[in-house]
Chain A
Amino acid sequence: MASGRQRTFGAGRWVPLAATGILALVLFAMPAASVASPTSSTTHDSLAPAATSGLYAQATWNGANVRNYASATSAAHIGFNGVANVYYNWSSLGGVAGVGAPSFTINDARLQIFYFGFSLATRDVVNSAAVPATTGSFTMNWSTGALQYLLEGSYKLVASLLAPNGTTMWSQAFWVYVAAPFYVGAVLPIVLILIVIWELYNVATVGKYAMLGAPKSTAPPPSGEAPASEPPTATESPPPSEPETPTPPEEGSS
């Protein structure tokens, strides 16, 4: 009985461990394709308006500068099925009275959402007919898409402007809180809560499995008599033999 319970317990213990491992693999494998993205290695932690080679740019999230959402505690909020208007505006610095300022060719406005350092999703607004200019703007209506059914919580987003050759001309990081229906109505938090409940149940019932490791020989007999394993001494009387069962009378003797 004990070994059977031990086997059952041992197998059951691996279920949440395996689930956690599979979850970690999914989380790391899902955005693996984005590792090769040329923008993933850019320095996007700068919170000051970037002025790379005379380029000044900023992005707004529903009208507010994304610099206001510089940390997870001051993140912007997007509801379930919500759409945010992200507006990119860039201009060229330098020259005298606007004359002689360098021109830039910006053809791509990009917004990436990051999780564990990898890009979960990338959205682009591409201007295929971009020409060198001193000012420009892009408008993007951004939503979490299918991710809203899977994830919620605070995530870092990176807004960036790219040149036609893929060079990141400007980027800025900010934080967004993605809400789920009924606060925990996404798949991942539900799975995590179920794992927590399962593990707490296992911890609450873990005491009974201490019996499996207890030595059997140290157990005192319940009635206070000598243990059965103790050898009998010579002075003791031999154990009484079992009473013989009376043989039934033969048929026909009466």
Chain B
Amino acid sequence: MSATTSGLAAGIVLGIVGVLLAQQLGFLGLSDLVRALEYLVVAAILGGIVFAVIGWALGRRYLARHGGSSSPPPSSGD
């Protein structure tokens, strides 16, 4: 699972959980089924897109800092 895919999955979960949490804190009403599903789907899509971009950016930054090598770093004696 790449960093982008990981960010996508996390964003979908965060979008859904964010809507449910907003309702629990009194900012949203989820008593109507259609409206609630609209909130959940839109939040999941937006969260997935945003966090996929964040995951991609974090992956790029990590590769740039650490050289993109998966081999172990050389020892000091080499």
Show the binding face of A for B, using Cβ within 8 Å: 2, 6, 9-10, 13, 16-17, 20, 23-24, 71-72, 75, 114-118, 151-156, 175, 177, 184, 186, 188-189, 192-193, 195-196, 199-200, 202-204, 206-214, 216, 218-220, 222-223
Contact = CB atoms under 8 A, between A and B. Distances in A.
A219 B70 contact: yes
User: For A13, A23, A152, A214, which residue has the most chain B Cβ atoms within 10 angstroms?
Assistant: A214
A207 B20 contact: no
A196 B59 contact: no
Contact of A13 (B9, B20, B61, B67): B9
Interface string B1-38: 11100110111011011101101111011111110100
Given A153-B26, A213-B2, A222 B78 contact: yes
B32 A156 contact: yes
B28 A117 contact: no
Given A13-B6, A72-B28, 11 more contacts: A116-B30, A117-B33, A153-B28, A156-B31, A199-B14, A199-B17, A203-B7, A204-B58, A207-B58, A214-B63, A219-B69
User: For A117, A155, A156, A175, which residue has the most chain B Cβ atoms within 10 angstroms?
Assistant: A117
Contacts of A195: 13, 17
Given A13-B1, A188-B24, A210 B69 contact: no
A196 B43 CA distance: 14
Contact of A212 (B2, B16, B20): B2
Contacts of A211: 62-63, 66, 68-70
Given A195-B13, A223-B74, A153 B24 contact: yes
User: For A9, A10, A20, A175, which residue has the most chain B Cβ atoms within 10 angstroms?
Assistant: A20
A214 B68 contact: yes
Contacts of B54: 203
Contacts of A214: 63, 68-70
Nearest to A16: B13
A17 B30 CA distance: 21
B18 to A, nearest CB: 7
A20 B20 CA distance: 10
Contacts of A202: 6, 10
Given A153-B25, A199-B13, A212-B2, A116 B31 contact: yes
A13 B13 CA distance: 10
A155 B74 CA distance: 60
B10 A155 contact: no
B37 to A, nearest CB: 8
